[in-house]
Structure 1
Amino acid sequence: MRVYGKITLIPPEGGVGGWGKPARWCIKGDRHVITMLKRIFSGVEQWHISQVEMSNTPENCRNLLWFLDRYPMEVSDLAIMEAGASQHIATLDRLDEITAPNYKPQEYPLAIPLRDYQRIAVDLYLARGSLLLGDDIGIGKTAVAVGSFADPATLPAVVCTLAHLPRQWEKEIHRFMPSLTTHVIKKGTPYSLPEINGRGPDIIITNYHKLAGWAEVLREYARSVVYDEVQELRREESQKYSAAISISHACDYRLGLTATPILNYGGEYFNVNETISPGVLGTVGEFRRSWCGGAYNKITIRDPKAFGSYLRENHIMLRRTRREVGREMPTLSKVIHMVDSDSRELHKIKDSATELARIILDREKSSSQERYTASGQFDMIMRQVTGLAKAPYVADFVKILLEAGEKVVLYGWHREVYSIWAHRLKEFNPIWYTGSESAVKKDAGVQEFIGGEAQLLLISLRAGAGLDGLQYSGCRTVVFGELDWSPGIHEQNMGRVHRDGQPEPVVAYYLVSDDGTDPFMVDILGLKQEQVEGIRNPDDIFPERKGGPVKDISALARAYLDGKI
């Protein structure tokens, strides 16, 4: 049998924690054979004549064995190549089984059961050890991450998220798995982690800004890492990217969550994927030669559909749309999402709010007219300051949705709050539908939104009655940046988008903070119970209270004076 060349394995060179040159196969052979190999495997360097290199990945091992069936060569480390190929075959067989239509996913002991499609994602991630979960916004990527923590092999874990989301993650973890202990990193430099029940926290939660300072500690501490909004790691020159690479290489499990893995240029995907599945796409040079075009700083994917198919076929990425999982989702999902707030806003009105609250509750010294007037003023300033305190964080959340390609209807009430939203979301040129625009301007704005010329429509809570047509706009996301006392108003506003003619499941986010009137209103409106029941029993009718206002300003005033607000 003729032998056309020789293949040797070059061990990794230099660097720790993911840096340095990875192990690779060096292929030397007859020039026409190397030419044929370069034609088949476009990722290798094309300028070499009689020698090329390929990364030592399971996929490349399998491909090289296939090539050797046609052009036999001497292989110095054949057992390693065969083991890599066998690993690739076995892994794909197992992952194909998990994603098959008749697969029955594992049960996980969570306080709120996962839906089948979420359990499939958990199974896929745990079987593979790494996964980029690119599901549509609103179908439960966070729940998948928390579900994975039910496997002790993933603990202790690190969750890295955006600056305003650590508290939200902590609440979600405790909601799904109350037994887990958590700690939110409080500053950018390391300190001794608290001991809970004689050991460190099960989950450490941090934001991307603090990641670099904690990298050495976290790589030694964690067995798994979850990167929320993982597109934050798209720039290899950033400190947070370097920190993530170091942590990822030390962890057994790595999960990335995002509906938008690519924000600008497709070439950024390599960096994102390298933090989740290191080396699976080969080297950056192999990736660019195989899939990309464009200039150095504007690398684009030549054929995005083909690349997306490759990622899904090899289970590197899992992406489901709302329509694809719609059989398991209610047509309307209502989600309470916690956001931060600026407590300084609440301190500004402390004196006036205290005086008004006392007038409201003092039935002996205050007349009914005085109490009525004070109630209106107290309600106004408390709800306005609550809206102002959380307004920047509401805008940040909405921006995430918009950057993911979602069209959003945002509901609010106070003009001062609108001003903050307008400034922070000005790049999206929002359409306004409040009490300030003429009927002609409102109608024109709505038509722009329906026609796809605008991505964000801001509506006053009490201005949307009777508005029709938004169900045809492609919008499936409603955000309540401020709350109304009347559950009927919320129902009516959701009904602008969730109505006959809407082809997609709709998600309505209630953005609430722990400060101001929000906790009181959430309780009065029955939103917490509604959310839990909606997750547990998606086919049941939501138990939100219907009808007219449920506002009780006296109870609100009492809660304020008692220090509960």
Structure 2
Amino acid sequence: MPTTASTAPARRRSASGRGSSARRDDDAPLIPILARKVREVEAKAQRGKLGPTNRVKFQVIAFLVREERARVKADEAVPTAARAELLKRLDGVATILAKTAARDTSLIQLLEVDQAASPVAKRMRRDWLLESGADLPEDELIITDVAPVQTPVVPAALAERQVTPPQVEARRESNPFLAPDLTLRAPASTARRRLDGWELMGPLYKAFEIGAGGASASMELPVVPEFDRLSPKGLEIMPHQSRFLESVREGHRSFLLADEPGLGKTAQSVLAASVAGAYPLLAVVPNVVKMNWAREVERWTPQRRATVIHGDGATVDAFADVFIVNYEVLDRHLSWLGSLGLKGMVVDEAHFIKNLTSQRSQNVLALGARIREQVHNPLMLALTGTPLINDVEDFDAIWRFLGWTNGEKPGPELMAKLDATGFTPADKAFYPEARDAVISMGIVRRKKKDVAADLPDKLVADLPVELDDDYGRSIRAAERELGERLAAKYRRIIEARGDKVLIGEVDEDIVRLVAHGELEESKAAAAGGDNVFTMVRRIGQAKAVLAADYAVQLQRSVGKVVFFAKHIDVMDTAEAHFAAAGLRTISIRGDQTTPARQHAIDAFNSDPDVAIAVCSLTAAGVGLNMQAASNVVLAELSWTAAEQTQAIDRVHRIGQEEPVTAWRIIAAHTIDTKIAELIDSKQSLAARALDGEQIDPASSDSVQLSALMHLLRQSLGAA
């Protein structure tokens, strides 16, 4: 920050301006301001919430302490004793700065004398000096912004990691020119606004920090349309989803969609792309929901093609409409994605990008900026039920991604809205108006209880996850080997009977016989060899961390969560993951005494600090009341529909005031998928039986037997 000319004489207000009483601060009215500001920074640092704005505050305080110390030492009008007292107070401010920097060592570089200052820091310094009564020269009153530097999508450090999937070259060759968007807006007007001279990011964060007396942080949405013209045959969007999509239809294109989990944010995003025609669309998502995104695209927009980007992208369908990539592999694909001509981008679990220094955040922000450069009014969606994890400044990265701010000041559209309020940050009325202005940019937040009439009282939602590590691949290989072993037995029986084995045709009686024999052998062998029981056990182990990670995200959005697993090792893995995430848990297991179990249940229902109940499917599936939660994670599948229902009903009980959602974690491309399908069919059959309808004779088969029959048919090519 460049040193400015001394303003010592001007810093003292006239006696008539202050009244006749004199104060010790008259000789250095800036010091109490610095003391107040440094305490604010210290308090934030102690809570681990030192975001970008407070880092700028730290820098400005450090600079002004040096400047003020030099001024006090040089001011001969100040008596010696008063000078010593003022220097002592400045040393106190400097000591707090040093302690804060010791807590967060990344602040040390901000203490450098030659540390460059941003326009935001210069404005902050100017405002504090004016607050102290200083009369500043005109060149310090008017602070101009530095022209933005074009940031490349691919930073130099990642250039060597870039890959180009084979089909991308084919797409480029089929259409070598990216059509220009002739509707791109003209350069923003250079006319000065009333608020141009103000530092506004701090006040915007403060506007959300102080809240609005309980007013919801959700923009006004259109009314529900008379007809649902968006849902494909057999599906129907809910009223709260329809209102969001009407806003897209009316032309709104950037949203922070902060609905609670279970309200269909993914479906709303998929349909929003269809309404806006925002194809190609990029969805950047956590690994645990990557497969679910592909399924939702197929489900809600069956006329569109989705492709999931794995690893280096060897299997990418470059002609797809929707590209789905997880955060972990995005860095390899920045180059071709940045040149594909994307017209929309969705960032799922957008709180993942809150750390602006992380490469993950920089990748997302660079791609978002590139899309806004290439397309007028692109569809930009940030999805998260928890936009704020630690501090209101967690909004920073999300607002940047959406183009609402650039981190240092509001964008043109938001600035116009703020200017239209007629207030400045010096006015108390500015803060609720500023909050409303940001919300109107596209914040949509609904809770389950707000739209309870739209929801079923109990919903089972499947989350397919991909086991794409070596362990997952070994599970799929073992599944294939089991299927081939069953197929070999089947062929031997058919050949012994003198018949020919026909591809695609099976004898169901023989299929049942072979599967039944395998099931009996598996029960006798217990944990020995690869059988249907060991297979499901291994799948549960492979899903443990993915399921636990989803439960952590869910808990941050909705509060208490009940986590069910079948095996103790899966429970142990999950509990270790929760502990690492800083969450308190209780455990319900079969080896507990009755008093210990009840104590754990009481703690979960009554202690707000207990976040997750980790429960055994068999030990906690009956007789327990855990209705403090309305969300359940089923990390492992049960062998019976009744066991699953009993687990969900620990939460779905009389007295539950919110709709209940059970999130079933399913390993895609494994037998897990078939088991989930079989469980659902058993539930449907049970309902039909109770209603007096005829039951398919196959309904008497166990899930294990049906799963083995499926594996055998699959291996024979008749699944």
Tell me the TM-score normalized by structure 2.
0.56
Q: Return closer, same or farther for 1:180/1:442 CA change in 2, 3 Å cut-off.
A: same
The DSSP-based 3-state class of the residue aligned with 1:455 is strand
Change (3 A) 1:130 1:519: same
- Contact 1:522–1:528 (CA<8 Å) still a contact in 2? no
Q: For residue 445 of structure 1, what is the aligned residue in structure 2?
A: 600
Find the counterpart in structure 2 of residue 461 from structure 1.
617
Shift of 1:229: 0.8
Within the candidate set 147, 158, 167, 2:291 is matched to: 167
SS at match of 1:437: coil
CA separation in 1, counterparts of 2:357 and 2:515? 68
1:223 paired with 2:377, answer: no
CA distance in 1 between partners of 2:304 and 2:351 (Å): 27
Partner of 1:524: 678
Structure 1's unaligned 5+ residue stretches are: 1-40, 69-94, 292-301, 531-543
Q: 1:458 to 1:447 in 2, by over 3 A?
A: same
Q: Which has the higher strand share?
A: 1
1:232 is matched with which residue: 344, 352, 357? 352
The within-5 A match list for 1:412-431 is 412-426=565-579, 427-431=582-586
Match of 1:244 in 2: 364
Cα deviation digits, residues 80-125 of structure 1 (max 9, x gap): xxxxxxxxxxxxxxx97x6255776873253533212112222334
- What letter is aligned with 2:707? L
Report the alpha carbon displacement of residue 417 of structure 1 after superposing the two structures with TM: 1.9
CA distance in 2, matches of 1:239, 1:175: 33
What corresponds to 2:524 in structure 1? Answer: 373
Distance 1:159 1:166 in 2: 9
Indicate if the aligned counterparts of 2:479 and 2:670 stay in contact, CA closer than 8 A: no
Q: State the AA in 2 paired with 1:237.
A: T
Change over 3 Å in CA distance of 1:347–1:281 after alignment to 2: closer
Q: Report if aligned partners of 1:129, 1:253 keep a CA contact under 8 Å in 2.
A: yes
User: 2: CA distance between counterparts of 1:108 and 1:489?
Assistant: 36
Q: How does 1:101-500 map to 2 (within 5 A)?
A: 107-111=229-233, 112-125=235-248, 127-151=251-275, 153-187=277-311, 194-195=317-318, 200-220=319-339, 221-249=341-369, 250-251=371-372, 252-279=378-405, 283=409, 309-310=435-436, 313-341=439-467, 342-344=471-473, 346=475, 373=524, 378-426=531-579, 427-452=582-607, 453-471=609-627, 473=628, 475-500=629-654
CA-atom RMSD, angstroms? Answer: 4.5
User: Once the 2 structures are TM-superposed, how far is the Cα of residue 527 of structure 1 from its aligned partner?
Assistant: 6.1
User: Which secondary structure does the structure 1 equivalent of 2:663 belong to?
Assistant: strand
State the distance in 1 between where 2:277 and 2:125 align.
35
**More displaced stretch, 266-275 vs 341-350:** 341-350
The structure-2 alpha-carbon separation of the partners of 1:367 and 1:383, relative to structure 1 and needing over 3 Å to count, comes to closer
Query: For residues 470 and 410 of structure 1, do their structure 2 counterparts lie closer, same or farther at Cα, with a shift above 3 Å needed?
Result: same
Residue 150 to residue 441, structure 1, CA distance change in 2 (3 Å): same
Return closer, same or farther for 1:125/1:216 CA change in 2, 3 Å cut-off.
farther
Gaps of 5+ in 2: 1-122, 131-135, 148-184, 196-217, 373-377, 419-427, 491-510, 685-694
CA distance in 2, matches of 1:120, 1:337: 25
Q: Give the equivalent residue in structure 1 for 2:655.
A: 501
Relative to 1, partners in 2 of residues 1:355 and 1:131: Cα closer, same or farther, differing over 3 Å? Answer: closer
Q: CA deviation at 1:264?
A: 2.2
Corresponding pairs, count: 461
**SS state at 2:623 partner:** coil
Alignment TM-score, normalising by the size of structure 1: 0.69
Matches within 5 A, 1:42-57: 45=127, 47=129, 49=136, 50=138, 51-52=141-142
Cα 1:318–1:307, aligned 2, differ >3 Å: closer, same or farther?
A: farther
CA distance change for structure 1 residues 361 and 183 in 2, over 3 Å: closer, same or farther?
closer
Amino acid at match of 1:343: G
Residue aligned with 1:149, SS:
helix
Per the alignment, residue 709 of structure 2 pairs with 558
Structure 1 residue 523 displacement after superposition: 2.2
Task: Compute the displacement of 1:314 (Å).
Answer: 1.9
Shift of 1:479: 1.3
Post-superposition Cα deviations, 1:437-457, rounded to whole Å, max 9, x if no partner, equal: 221211111111001241111
What corresponds to 2:43 in structure 1? none
Q: For residue 347 of structure 1, report the CA deviation from its aligned partner.
A: 6.4
CA contact (8 A) 2:354 2:361 kept: yes
Residue type matched to 1:246 in 2?
A: A
Cα pair 1:524 1:550 within 8 Å, conserved: no
2:454 counterpart SS class = coil
Query: Does the 8 Å contact 2:571/2:615 carry over to 1?
Result: no
Quickly say closer, same or farther: Cα 1:446–1:42, change in 2 above 3 A: same
CA drift of 1:334 comes to: 1.5
Worse-matched range after superposition: 354-363 or 255-264:
354-363
| 2:565–2:571 CA contact under 8 A, matched in 1 | yes
Q: Secondary structure at the match of 1:432?
A: strand
* One-letter amino acid matched to 2:347: Y
SS at match of 1:213: coil
Letter in 2 for 1:398: A
Amino acid at match of 1:455: A
Q: CA–CA distance in 2 between the matches of 1:184 and 1:333?
A: 26
Which protein has the larger Cα radius of gyration, Structure 1 or Structure 2? 2
Secondary structure at 2:283 match in 1: strand
In structure 1, distance between residues paired with 2:343 and 2:326: 18
Q: Distance in 2 between matches of 1:128 and 1:351?
A: 49
The amino acid across from 2:310 in the alignment is: K
- Are residues 282 and 319 of structure 1, via their aligned partners in 2, closer, same or farther at CA, if it must alter by over 3 Å? farther
* 3-state secondary structure, aligned to 2:563: strand
Q: Deviations over 1:23-49 (max 9, x none)?
A: xxxxxxxxxxxxxxxxxx999955474
Q: Deviations over 1:285-340 (max 9, x none)?
A: 999xxx9xxxxxxxxxx99x959953664243110111111111111121111112
Q: Distance in 2 between matches of 1:123 and 1:350?
A: 46
- Of residues 119-128 and 131-140 in structure 1, the stretch that sits farther from structure 2 once superposed is 119-128
Cα 1:553/1:270, change in 2 over 3 Å: closer
Q: Return the alpha-carbon distance in structure 1 between the equivalents of residues 657 and 519 of structure 2.
A: 51
Query: CA separation in 2, counterparts of 1:259 and 1:423?
Result: 24
Alignment map for 1:61-140 (pairs within 5 Å): 99=221, 107-111=229-233, 112-125=235-248, 127-140=251-264
Partner Cα distance (1:176, 1:325) in 2:
21
Deviation at 1:458, TM superposition (A): 1.6
Fraction of identical pairs, as percent: 19
Structure 1 residue 354, shift from structure 2 partner:
7.3
The CA distance in 2 between the partners of 1:430 and 1:550, in whole Å, is 38
